[in-house]
Structure 1
Amino acid sequence: MLSCPSCESKHTVKNGRIHNGKQNYRCRDCGRQFVQDPQNKLIDQATKDLIDKLLLERLSLAGIARVTGVSELWLQRYVNAKYAAVSRRVSVKREKKGRLTIQCDELWSFVDHKGNKQWVWLAIDAKTREIVGVHIGNRSEAGATALWQSLPPVYRQCAICYTDFWAAYAAVLPSKRHRAVGKESGLTNQIERLNCTLRQRISRLVRKTLSFSKKVDNHIGAIWYFIHHYNASLPV
């Protein structure tokens, strides 16, 4: 009979199996649950650093688990904590008041099923190519308002805003500084190119994917995680 590792009682019974199929035991005296000859695998910092980089590429969590040799359960918990800690505000270099130009667009996505649409609203500085505004939600005027409010104050005060003809922009953006244009004008080409980059680098945004998010918080966290990396990697 196995002894309890906590109280050393021999009054133990089998209590199902753990996630990897190993026999689980329970002590009837103190209630401690345990397995025989536990072999907990500690994840070193080098593996965590590699995972942080792989999260920025178009890989599913199952793929990352296969590459790094960690369990999917551990990886999901690690990712949940990482995405929860990601800031939901853009960090951009300070711009002086003057002639600023931004391009805005929306990117379709979904969570859990395609009926649960989530739109990624983006604003990019046409000169520096920094992402200066972000909102993830529906495609209503409320979404356009949230995008506008996410912009740093200097952009809300000075920037000329180029968008497509989606009506929500006209309802929210200042009319004197809003320019609705078609793709043929080339005045929204940078934000359109950014949309392609996001779909190429974030597996959750691929149009036909099995790597979709099941939780809105993780969906938003994954996008913000990439956005911070994208801005930090731009040349000074």
Structure 2
Amino acid sequence: MNKLPHNKRVQILAMLCEGSSMRSISRVADVSINTVSKLLVEAGEAALAIHDETVRNVKASRVQCDEIWSFCYAKDKNVPAAKDAPEGAGDVWTWTAIDADTKLIVSYFVGDRSGQSAIALMDDLRARLSNRVQLTTDGHKAYLEAVEGAFGADVDYAQLVKLYGNVGGGKSAEVRYSPAECTGIRKVAIEGNPDVKHVSTSYVERQNLTMRMSMRRFTRLTNGFSKKLDNHIHALALYFVFYNFTRIHKTLRMSPAMAAGITDRLWSLDDVIAKIDELAPAPKPRGPYKKTNQRDG
């Protein structure tokens, strides 16, 4: 079985993590687009395993949650008219939970914006924490049932509800592509005794901006969006491992995983490749060569 040289795999993964498109990677690395796609799938599966195995028993004090929008193949409103739309086409929401102190992405989930996705995020978050935390979300109603089901009374939970005004009338570009103006906020205590001073979603919202800037799939008004939901999930999984383990956070001067005490060293993409090789199926034994009978003449 042919395998890319180690340095070539590191180069491709580094470019994927830094936001390059798959076709630009294929041109720069001088490999086929199928090779890049295959390595993304392998790295995504390895990253999913790394996060699931490693980000456990996290000791945190303040956790912030939010969700960010993207789409796969076509936006929801265009899916019915889209040609050969695959399963998973339409709007895709990435739910994240970040430790406000160490900036560690403790949990994430890729799905829609329904209550079921909120439940999946909160159940996973609760399973990865080792202590009671103060939790802050935005005012999305789906969080209420999800937090209650996952944590019960064992959480200090508050919502930061933002109040928005109109940017102006009409359908100008300013209105279509600019967020509505935030005119105020309300901090609402839901469960336990949350500290009002720390009721905030600033860190998780800044992390969402980092995601949008770091992955070509999240860039607005381009054709770099995901065409397959599986590839979208794999790209996210690789990004979260890259962010948590292999990149130095400028404020912390170490990786978030080091700040959280999950690891005592800065990882590299070599660790991701080692996990890829570990998960790779064993090569099948080759049988004896059989020479076929050939007629003379």
Range into which the TM-score falls when normalised by the shorter chain? 0.7 to 0.9
Q: Which deviates more from structure 2 when the two are superposed, residues 107-116 or residues 170-179? A: 170-179
2:37 to 76, 86, 92: 76
1:195 aligns with 2:208: yes
In 2, Cα distance between equivalents of 1:191 and 1:62 = 30
1:160 aligns with 2:134: yes
Partner of 1:114: 75
In 2, Cα distance between equivalents of 1:134 and 1:195 = 12
Please say if residues 106 and 122 of structure 1, whose CA atoms lie closer than 8 Å, have aligned partners that are also in contact: yes
Please give the TM-score of this superposition, normalised by the length of structure 1.
0.74
Change in Cα spacing, 1:210 to 1:181, as seen in structure 2 (3 Å) is same
Partner of 1:139: 113
1:57 aligns with 2:18: yes
Q: Which amino acid aligns with 1:72?
A: I
In 1, Cα distance between equivalents of 2:128 and 2:22 = 38
In 1, Cα distance between equivalents of 2:102 and 2:37 = 35
Change in Cα spacing, 1:93 to 1:157, as seen in structure 2 (3 Å) is closer
Identity of aligned residues (%): 31
Instruction: Tell which has more relative contact order, 1 or 2 (C-alpha 8 A, sep 6+).
Output: 2
Q: Which deviates more from structure 2 when the two are superposed, residues 125-134 or residues 152-161? A: 152-161
1:220 aligns with 2:233: yes
Q: Gaps (5+ residues) in structure 2?
A: 77-89, 163-184, 188-198, 259-297
Helix, strand or coil at the partner of 1:211? coil
Change in Cα spacing, 1:165 to 1:56, as seen in structure 2 (3 Å) is same
Partner of 1:32: none
Q: Deviations over 1:183-235 (max 9, x none)?
A: 65771100010000000001111122211111111110100110011111352
User: How far is the alpha carbon of 1:52 from its aligned partner?
Assistant: 1.1
Partner of 2:7: 46
Please say if residues 47 and 68 of structure 1, whose CA atoms lie closer than 8 Å, have aligned partners that are also in contact: yes
User: How far is the alpha carbon of 1:42 from its aligned partner?
Assistant: 7.5
Partner of 2:224: 211
In 1, Cα distance between equivalents of 2:113 and 2:35 = 35
Q: How does 1:23-42 map to 2 (within 5 A)?
A: none
The higher radius of gyration belongs to 1
In 2, Cα distance between equivalents of 1:95 and 1:75 = 33
Q: Which amino acid aligns with 2:205?
A: E
Please say if residues 84 and 218 of structure 1, whose CA atoms lie closer than 8 Å, have aligned partners that are also in contact: no
User: How far is the alpha carbon of 1:151 from its aligned partner?
Assistant: 1.2
Helix, strand or coil at the partner of 2:66? strand
User: How far is the alpha carbon of 1:70 from its aligned partner?
Assistant: 1.2
User: How far is the alpha carbon of 1:153 from its aligned partner?
Assistant: 3.1
Q: Count residues in correspondence.
A: 194
Q: Which deviates more from structure 2 when the two are superposed, residues 61-70 or residues 151-160? A: 151-160
Partner of 2:55: 92
Q: Which deviates more from structure 2 when the two are superposed, residues 132-141 or residues 72-81? A: 72-81
User: How far is the alpha carbon of 1:43 from its aligned partner?
Assistant: 4.0
